[in-house]
Amino acid sequence: MSAKSFFRRLLKEVVHPSEDLRVERQARKAIDLCRALLSEQGEFSGAALARDALAAYHELPESGISAFFDHLVHEFSPDTGEVVRAADAYRDNPSWDRLLALQRSAEPARQELFRRLNMAKDGTAALVALRRQVLRGLKTHPDWRAIDADLAHLFGSWFNRGFLRLERIDWNTSAIVLEKLITYEAVHQIQGWQDLRRRLEADRRCFAFFHPALPREPLIFIEVALTRGMSGAVQPLLEVAAPVAESGRADTAIFYSITNCQDGLRGISFGNLLIKQVVQELQAELPGIGRFATLSPLPGFRNWLDRATGQSGGLANAGATLEPLQRLQTPDWYRRPELAQQLEPVVLQLAAYYLLEVKTNNEPLDAVARFHLGNGARLERLNWLADVSEQGMRRSAGVMVNYEYHLADVEENHEAFAREQRVIASADVRRLARAARRLLPAGPEQPPRKEGRRKKRDAP
Amino acid sequence: MSAKSFFRRLLKEVVHPSEDLRVERQARKAIDLCRALLSEQGEFSGAALARDALAAYHELPESGISAFFDHLVHEFSPDTGEVVRAADAYRDNPSWDRLLALQRSAEPARQELFRRLNMAKDGTAALVALRRQVLRGLKTHPDWRAIDADLAHLFGSWFNRGFLRLERIDWNTSAIVLEKLITYEAVHQIQGWQDLRRRLEADRRCFAFFHPALPREPLIFIEVALTRGMSGAVQPLLEVAAPVAESGRADTAIFYSITNCQDGLRGISFGNLLIKQVVQELQAELPGIGRFATLSPLPGFRNWLDRATGQSGGLANAGATLEPLQRLQTPDWYRRPELAQQLEPVVLQLAAYYLLEVKTNNEPLDAVARFHLGNGARLERLNWLADVSEQGMRRSAGVMVNYEYHLADVEENHEAFAREQRVIASADVRRLARAARRLLPAGPEQPPRKEGRRKKRDAP
Amino acid sequence: MSAKSFFRRLLKEVVHPSEDLRVERQARKAIDLCRALLSEQGEFSGAALARDALAAYHELPESGISAFFDHLVHEFSPDTGEVVRAADAYRDNPSWDRLLALQRSAEPARQELFRRLNMAKDGTAALVALRRQVLRGLKTHPDWRAIDADLAHLFGSWFNRGFLRLERIDWNTSAIVLEKLITYEAVHQIQGWQDLRRRLEADRRCFAFFHPALPREPLIFIEVALTRGMSGAVQPLLEVAAPVAESGRADTAIFYSITNCQDGLRGISFGNLLIKQVVQELQAELPGIGRFATLSPLPGFRNWLDRATGQSGGLANAGATLEPLQRLQTPDWYRRPELAQQLEPVVLQLAAYYLLEVKTNNEPLDAVARFHLGNGARLERLNWLADVSEQGMRRSAGVMVNYEYHLADVEENHEAFAREQRVIASADVRRLARAARRLLPAGPEQPPRKEGRRKKRDAP
Amino acid sequence: MSAKSFFRRLLKEVVHPSEDLRVERQARKAIDLCRALLSEQGEFSGAALARDALAAYHELPESGISAFFDHLVHEFSPDTGEVVRAADAYRDNPSWDRLLALQRSAEPARQELFRRLNMAKDGTAALVALRRQVLRGLKTHPDWRAIDADLAHLFGSWFNRGFLRLERIDWNTSAIVLEKLITYEAVHQIQGWQDLRRRLEADRRCFAFFHPALPREPLIFIEVALTRGMSGAVQPLLEVAAPVAESGRADTAIFYSITNCQDGLRGISFGNLLIKQVVQELQAELPGIGRFATLSPLPGFRNWLDRATGQSGGLANAGATLEPLQRLQTPDWYRRPELAQQLEPVVLQLAAYYLLEVKTNNEPLDAVARFHLGNGARLERLNWLADVSEQGMRRSAGVMVNYEYHLADVEENHEAFAREQRVIASADVRRLARAARRLLPAGPEQPPRKEGRRKKRDAP
């Protein structure tokens, strides 16, 4: 299946033979070291060979990496004939030994290779980086998903939650870790060390998961503001010059940012666990805090809105009722009170509708909603002009959501969500969504699900 | 295949229904928690469920554990039909997706179960202990090897060398770890805290491997004496009252004991790596040390000797030449100089012969020899009356071996051993073995191998 | 003033000149290094000189140490003439500068010498050991108290409570520290590692103070048993084989041993602070514990009793009422129920009397009583046959006391004790003491105090 | 003696009675807590009282602090009468007891007060800050030097070198410490986190001393560049964008900045020790480094030059030879090659003369020269246009000095410097200084100093 890319490379080699040959020779050398590592010799002097193999890989130029990955796919995959033979033997007599033999023949040698590469100093970090590289090339090299699958399987085992350590991050943390927060933070960018410092003051908290093999690499981190009342706007929380409040007086913890740090660990989920452990930590440290909620964007809202309003049969037919939405095109409309006032009811209703009703594969279309609702949070409140940053306006029309985590309810909420696709939301939010439905013509998209939902929604 | 044990249990239940039913109900409860942990709900609230499942397992009586393991075998193994279907699909079209599907169908649900159980606090320790339990029952419950195979696979991944930490153990180490050394030490038993303390003085070293998930559980540890000259007897090294020498004056490091601590990690080998890392540590700390050697028993020697002398066609035919061996039966013969003197040449020659020539599956019959020679050590010297403890006499006839580790040579030695079954030994030891061959009649056992060996041995 | 010892040494030198001269030369060398350390050169290359000076001191034989101390007294004390001149100048004009000059002239050079010796590696430990040596010789060399006074002043400053760290000691603690507990424990000797281990189980606690310069040397430690009800006997608490109770079920913390570890820090008191900090630690960790009390000996009781009964005008005159006391001479009387029964009321009454009424310098004669009552504890209960160890019988006639620490009251109790010499005791204990007074003839010792006490006792 | 300030305050109180009375009452309250702390009660419940007293002090407004310090001077100083009596008693009979009594009477109660205040959490930090406050007010309140003397004495004891820890500072260090480096660095200001980070890269080193009671407060730190050859200009070392060199290739360590962090520890010198320990650390880590030198300013050079050239009889008389010096007034002269060229010989000669010949109290007038030469360094090289920063030009005319530390020689160099006021300098530097002397007319400046020197040198 990767024959095409293979020939392309061959072809290229014909055109620029010398340079390409050199690179291919380099890639071949790295592969040969991998082979040696997998041999009996690798068992014996693993760490040194692993180091050499990784060094050879790290020296490869871009095109060499590509060749290296192609080799990994073609030369370290199971042998089809062998797998078929093992499968036939198992079919004839489904004994334990034959099942084991089948398992072994079906497991790519790559998995053992990666396990052995891990013996090198900083091997784990190197493998996580290698997978990031694989993921980046996946679109143009679809057969690399063989490598991806092996690493994903391995990382799922290595980064087991039982091996993770929750650590509080504050101004006592080492600069090498703090600098990574600045680099990684994706939700509300950290504007240098002063900004970071404000986010680690007495009225803020920050926690991260670490793995023992990556002691200075946060896997995921969460930023929390300790407030009085449930924050409905993020800019005040990010204000570097804001006075520091006493943590003891807070009654609410607002999770205003959660960031996955390692692209190479994509698909291995830490967020759900992190939020719940942080809730427990905060409950123990600050008994005065009774409420735990996020302040989250609706990153797909504007996008959906634009598509929906442009679509025949969708909002486009709503006519006059949705006219105010055209004001969203006005630059800086949120600074003009009369525009903002006109937009508020329409946008909030549509946002509620978007979160509660617009689905993909039976789950909310909005990724953030999917994450928190899947974790058992409750969609508590929509906030108007809550994030007026460029990104906040462009993606969420300035709206933000409070998803509330009430530990006693999360399991039940989660069940409702997972089994019945039921979104747990406050009465206010549900009211907004109902109002939106009146705005909307019966489109082709909604009816079937709406039916299903209505029934379920009556249940509780 | 475990049908028999299953029916036996059924039968037993008929006899003592009430008690057995209670136990079965308990085992069932633990299994149900495992099922829940594997379900979507387990993904969500993993740690708590994992804790409950492990607690339920820990509360089981012996018979309940047996039932629990049987359930684990029967209910969490792959579905034969599904595997066969996936295999057929793959045979029809050996694509990546189908291979992945086949892999998935062939992987027992137990593996994922164990990965999730690991989320509980101290989950890793619990799983290691569970495997120990499985291994203990393997003889009477051969089908439990399904569980064993899954755990072995998992531990092979989790206890990757890249995750291990080498730590020096000394009198600053916590008592909880030191106590475990006392408990685990298998080669030369530690007689309480004073004995332990002597083994941690300035002229001794002790190192262990730890895994981050088992911070107070040594996986393997090694005890080293820093000496002048290569020690040829172990009792002086174990003498609690011996004066402490200056470590700076030592020229040799004697590895006199190496102990695997975790039965539950059987088959995951740490020893080879440990010895080599310790050699490097000692080279860095004490540049005056130029020689690294073990002082090891020949644990199977007496056993082999007894069998060989009792066997027709074996040593039994040797006649007069082996007559002195009968003195070995005399209690405390080693205290009687004249007996010891008579025995010395015969026993040492036979010991050399035993180490160099007596094989199983082309490898030395002696497990300790197999280990060190497989690690690339060189069989340097045999020592007479080197371990006169009860165990030393009973198993090794008081003989001990120095296997020398010369890091520059270990790889080559290992290759010779692994590929050509060639034992690297000093001229002295080889001479002893040759002398033994003259003692021995041409038995039915040796000739073929001897031929093969002789050629190879001439080579270098 | 030390002229005598000085001449004795001189004399000795006449007798065994050569050996003594050698030793004197050694002592002189150590002293010269001290001088150098005090010079401008010492300011410059302090650490190296300090190390050399301490090494020279450590090499001295017993007699050399004696000479060294004599030199320290005679050569590093203030110059009388200089002090007098500085004092005169100050009398003439009591200005700041002249006061400072007087202070400086009156401060022995020894203090600065000790401060500089501290620069050597492990200098603090060496100085603490040096003071222990000085204290041991104080009786025969009274002028060494000059050295003692300087070190006491210095240690008072260095071992300021603000620099101490409270650490919990448990089975995770390093063996090097645990071994010291075994060595130091003075109240209820620790019988090896098994005994120690029992004292560190889940129903026990142990805490110690450490100073950063002596990281592995406990300064003082306290042992605590977590119990239900207030323990009235120590042997059950010391029982190695006793089952371990759940700490969560305890309602009382019994401080059954407190040990000062460093003779060289005599006079610098840590105990009061330690007890109070431990009470706070335990309150935080185990909210179920509502009562904090010691289980303490009356180490001077039997001694006082013997003197008192032998003294004319004392108990000797009590006649028949005290007759049972003669049974105390019977070996193992406590094992004979009828004897024990007869003794109980008399001994308990006299013990109460001893604690409440028998004084030295207006404070309880009993050192342990002085300590706890001075800390603000309350004399709560006397316990019969509470310590039947050889030492317990010999010193305390088997009686033990519960001194109770109620943090809310300690300050007031302490004031009453310190200002009015009033012992805060329970009604029961006071009743016992009153009963004893009826036993006793009106001796010459008691009346005045009794008068005083009665008045005071009425006060609260 | 502080009567004046006392009356001034009194007077002020008359004018603005109410506010001043309030402040005075506050100061009085703080003083009363100090008194309580010194009383027997303070001995008992020290930590709590100490905390309260410090809290009361911290709440004082500026004027209250002033009043508080005045009280500290007047109420906690020794009683003149008592001191005189103790002195008289000692004169009569200079026994040990009386000396001790005199010492005690002459020691201000303040010292014990400070020792007790130290019991509060963070007490040491509070006392260091208090002394900084005292030092700042010393000019206007000369009698506060009584407080200063007590704290200096105490800190000299507490911050004994034996208690300090040398720590390497790098990008793993906690942000709270790194931020302090940015704040404290006085020699070459750190321009934010990027600048700091460059100073902690692989070709730089940074070390600091810490005291256990101030775990996150560097006392002093030193910045080192690892270079090839002895750097003669500081700007290249401070270049944030400079490529990072391999530390293994360096042959020279350049100490380009050393900063005392704690004003409150003025007079307690750490620098000499720090430099020598860092030399040892670097020798151990990087055996390739054979040369250790500073790159230091001459902070008093321009100042002296201006005075000298403006003074009749000084350089002013030098006439034509010194004419080029007028160019120093030209702004940015160093950017104009022809000016720089003209100035170079004259300025370098005068700089050498300034360092070698210009003295105050027999020591170099230049504080930095005094420090390094006093430490035993050798004045190795003068560097032209070595620091062209505004400060470098303004204070040192752009010149910088390499003082070289050769550990084997520092003691001898130090002796020469301390005893004979001899500056150890390279032949080149001495030649420059000689050349300068030819430039200079025999001025009226030198003779008197020379006179002075002779006298002083005779004195001791």
**Tens digit of each residue's pLDDT (9 = 90 or more) over D66-121:** 999 999 999 998 999 999 999 999 999 988 889 999 999 999 999 999 999 999 99
Instruction: Please state the rounded mean pLDDT for residues D361-369.
Output: 92
Q: What is d(CA B26, CA B48) in angstroms, rounded to the nearest whole number? A: 19
**Among partner residues C171, C179, C216, which is closest to B176 by beta-carbon distance?**
C171
What residues of B are in contact with residue A103 (Cβ under 8 Å)?
Answer: 103, 106-107
Q: What is d(CA A301, CA A368) in angstroms, rounded to the nearest whole number? A: 11
Lowest mean pLDDT among A396-405, B220-229, B263-272, C210-219: B263-272
Among this protein's residues, is C312 annotated catalytic?
Answer: no
Measured in angstroms, the CA of B159 and the nearest CA of chain A are apart by 9
> Does the structure show a pLDDT above 70 at A98?
yes
Q: Is B179 on the interface with C (CB under 8 A)?
A: yes
Backbone dihedral angles phi then psi of residue D286, each to the nearest 5 degrees: -130, 85
Q: Grade residue A424 by pLDDT with cuts at 50, 70 and 90.
A: very high
The token duo for B20 is 């057995």
pLDDT tens per residue across span B108-135: 999 999 999 999 999 999 999 999 999 9
Give the torsion sign (CA, A29, A34, A35, A41): positive
> Does the structure show a pLDDT above 80 at B239?
yes
Kindly give the pairing relationship between strand D220-227 and strand D252-260: antiparallel
Domain boundaries, given as residue ranges, for chain D: 10-158, 162-294, 297-458
Beta strands in D340-427 (DSSP E): 359-360, 363-364, 378-383, 400-404
pLDDT of residue C34: 94
pLDDT tens per residue across span B398-433: 999 999 999 889 888 888 888 888 899 999 999 999
pLDDT of residue A319: 59
**Do C297-458 and C162-294 fall under one CATH topology?**
yes
pLDDT of residue D407: 87
pLDDT of residue C339: 87
Phi/psi region, residue D376 (left: phi>0; alpha: psi -120 to 50; beta: rest), is: left
Kindly give the pairing relationship between strand B252-260 and strand B291-294: parallel
Q: Grade residue B12 by pLDDT with cuts at 50, 70 and 90.
A: low
Q: Which of A73-77, B306-310, D294-298 is predicted most confidently?
A: D294-298
pLDDT tens per residue across span B336-389: 888 889 899 999 999 999 999 999 888 899 999 999 998 899 999 999 999 999
Q: Is C180 on the interface with B (CB under 8 A)?
A: no
pLDDT of residue A111: 94
Q: Hey, which residues 150-169 in chain C have their CB within 8 Å of chain D?
A: 154, 156-158, 160-163
Q: Is B192 on the interface with C (CB under 8 A)?
A: yes
Measured in angstroms, the CA of D136 and the nearest CA of chain A are apart by 29
Q: Is A80 on the interface with D (CB under 8 A)?
A: no
3 state DSSP class of D445? coil
Mean of pLDDT over chain D: 87
Return the higher-pLDDT residue of B324 and D246: D246
Give the torsion sign (CA, C384, C387, C389, C394): negative
Cβ pair C83:D96 closer than 8 A: no
What residues of C are in contact with residue D42 (Cβ under 8 Å)?
Answer: none
Mean of pLDDT over chain A: 87
Could you tell me the CA-to-CA distances from D232 to A143, D153, D290, D295 in Å, in that order?
58, 40, 17, 7
pLDDT tens per residue across span C361-377: 888 999 999 999 988 99
Give the rounded distance of the alpha carbon of A347 from its chain centre.
Answer: 27
pLDDT of residue A451: 33
D261, D221 Cβ separation under 8 angstroms: yes
ipTM: 0.85
- pTM for the model: 0.88
pLDDT of residue A8: 61
Q: Which among A460, A366, A448 is positioned nearest to A422, based on CA atoms?
A: A460
**Among partner residues A174, A179, A197, which is closest to D174 by beta-carbon distance?**
A174
**Among partner residues A174, A192, A197, which is closest to D173 by beta-carbon distance?**
A174
> Does the structure show a pLDDT above 60 at B447?
no
B129, B264 Cβ separation under 8 angstroms: yes
Q: Is D194 on the interface with A (CB under 8 A)?
A: no
pLDDT of residue B319: 59
**Among partner residues C45, C84, C96, which is closest to D146 by beta-carbon distance?**
C96
Q: What is d(CA B225, CA B231) in angstroms, rounded to the nearest whole number? A: 9
Instruction: Please state the rounded mean pLDDT for residues B78-85.
Output: 92
Give kind and range of the element (H or E) at residue A304: helix A301-310
Tokens 């994450």 belong to residue: A371
CB-based burial of residue A361 (10 Å sphere; 0-12 exposed, 13-18 middle, 19+ buried)? Answer: exposed
Tokens 């007074």 belong to residue: C437
Q: Hey, which residues 228-267 in chain C have their CB within 8 Å of chain B?
A: none
> Does the structure show a pLDDT above 80 at D171?
yes
Non-local (6+) Cβ contacts of B86 within 8 A are B98, B101, B102, B104, B105, B106
Instruction: Please state the rounded mean pLDDT for residues C86-111.
Output: 91
B450, B440 Cβ separation under 8 angstroms: no
What residues of D are in contact with residue A201 (Cβ under 8 Å)?
Answer: none
pLDDT of residue D319: 59
Q: Grade residue B44 by pLDDT with cuts at 50, 70 and 90.
A: low
Question: Catalytic residue among A105, A231, A296, A396, which?
Answer: A296
Written as one string, the DSSP assignment of A233-256 is -SHHHH-TTSPPPPGGG--EEEEE
Nearest CA in chain C to D213: C163
Cβ pair D415:C1 closer than 8 A: no
pLDDT of residue D362: 87
H-type helices in B208-315, by residue range? Answer: 235-238, 271-285, 301-310
Among this protein's residues, is C296 annotated catalytic?
Answer: yes
A131, A144 Cβ separation under 8 angstroms: no
Amino acid of residue B19? E
Could you tell me the CA-to-CA distances from A226 to A199, A201, A289, A375 in Å, in that order?
11, 10, 8, 21
**Among partner residues A99, A120, A376, which is closest to B78 by beta-carbon distance?**
A99
Q: Convert B185-223 to b/e letters by CB count within 10 Å (16 or more is b).
A: bebbebeebebbbbbbbebbbbbbbbbebbeebbbbbbb
Q: Is B80 on the interface with A (CB under 8 A)?
A: yes
C293, C403 Cβ separation under 8 angstroms: yes
pLDDT of residue A311: 60
Q: Which among B227, B221, B195 is positioned nearest to B208, based on CA atoms?
A: B221
CB atoms near residue A300 (< 10 Å): 22
Instruction: Please state the rounded mean pLDDT for residues A137-147.
Output: 94
Non-local (6+) Cβ contacts of A35 within 8 A are A75
Instruction: Compute the CA torsion angle B447, B449, B452, B458 (nearest 10 deg).
Output: -90
pLDDT of residue B456: 28
pLDDT of residue C294: 97
pLDDT of residue B193: 95
Kindly give the pairing relationship between strand D363-364 and strand D378-383: unpaired
pLDDT of residue A39: 83
- In this structure, what DSSP letter does residue A174 have? B
B34, B53 Cβ separation under 8 angstroms: yes
Q: Which residue in C169, C171, C182, C183 has the most chain B C-beta atoms within 10 A of its own C-beta, making it the best mutation to test that interface?
A: C171
Give kind and range of the element (H or E) at residue C227: strand C220-227
Cβ pair C175:B178 closer than 8 A: yes
> Does the structure show a pLDDT above 50 at A453?
no
Nearest CA in chain A to B95: A1
Cβ pair B193:C197 closer than 8 A: no
Q: Is B79 on the interface with C (CB under 8 A)?
A: no
pLDDT of residue B323: 73
Q: Which among B382, B425, B377, B370 is positioned nearest to B230, based on CA atoms?
A: B382
Measured in angstroms, the CA of B111 and the nearest CA of chain A are apart by 10
A138, A69 Cβ separation under 8 angstroms: no
Instruction: Please state the rounded mean pLDDT for residues C158-181.
Output: 95
Give the rounded distance of the alpha carbon of D250 from its chain centre.
Answer: 30
A98, B146 Cβ separation under 8 angstroms: no
> Does the structure show a pLDDT above 60 at B87?
yes
Q: Which among B118, B180, B184, B122 is positioned nearest to B155, based on CA atoms?
A: B118
Kindly give the pairing relationship between strand C378-383 and strand A252-260: unpaired
CB atoms near residue C391 (< 10 Å): 13
Q: Which among A167, A118, A53, A218 is positioned nearest to B164, based on CA atoms?
A: A118
Size of interface B-C (CB pairs under 8 A): 35
Instruction: Please state the rounded mean pLDDT for residues A250-278.
Output: 93
Q: Which chains touch A (3 or more CB pairs under 8 A)?
A: B, D
Fold exhibited by the domain D10-158: Butyryl-CoA Dehydrogenase, subunit A; domain 3 (1.20.140)
> Does the structure show a pLDDT above 80 at A323?
no
Return the higher-pLDDT residue of B62 and C448: B62
Measured in angstroms, the CA of C303 and the nearest CA of chain D are apart by 30
Measured in angstroms, the CA of D194 and the nearest CA of chain A are apart by 10
H-type helices in B107-174, by residue range? Answer: 109-117, 123-137, 145-158
What is the Rg, in whole angstroms, of the alpha carbon atoms belonging to chain C?
A: 26
| CATH number for the segment(s) C297-458 | 3.40.630.150
D105, D128 Cβ separation under 8 angstroms: no
Rounded percentage of chain A residues whose pLDDT exceeds 90: 68
Fold exhibited by the domain C162-294: Aminopeptidase (3.40.630)
Kindly give the pairing relationship between strand D363-364 and strand D359-360: antiparallel
Mean of pLDDT over chain B: 87
Give the torsion sign (CA, A312, A316, A320, A321): positive
pLDDT of residue C420: 85
Tokens 């519960």 belong to residue: C402
Touching pair B, C by Cβ (3+ pairs < 8 Å): yes
Non-local (6+) Cβ contacts of C299 within 8 A are C366, C367, C368, C395, C396
Could you tell me the CA-to-CA distances from B299 to B149, B270, B350 in Å, in that order?
28, 20, 14
Q: Is A92 on the interface with B (CB under 8 A)?
A: no
> Does the structure show a pLDDT above 90 at C319?
no
pLDDT of residue B315: 58
D250, D311 Cβ separation under 8 angstroms: no
A259, A169 Cβ separation under 8 angstroms: no
Taken as a whole, chain B contains a residue count of 460
Rounded percentage of chain B residues whose pLDDT exceeds 70: 88
pLDDT of residue D307: 86
pLDDT tens per residue across span C390-449: 999 999 999 999 999 998 888 888 888 888 888 999 999 999 999 988 777 654 444 333
Q: Grade residue C106 by pLDDT with cuts at 50, 70 and 90.
A: very high
Return the higher-pLDDT residue of B155 and D333: B155
Q: Grade residue A57 by pLDDT with cuts at 50, 70 and 90.
A: very high
Q: What is d(CA B22, CA C414) in angstroms, rounded to the nearest whole number? A: 61
Active site residues of D: 296, 372
Cβ pair C171:B178 closer than 8 A: no
pLDDT tens per residue across span A174-225: 999 999 999 999 889 999 999 999 999 999 999 999 999 999 999 999 999 9
Q: Is C359 on the interface with D (CB under 8 A)?
A: no
pLDDT of residue A218: 97
Rounded percentage of chain C residues whose pLDDT exceeds 70: 88
Q: What is d(CA A53, CA A37) in angstroms, rounded to the nearest whole number? A: 8
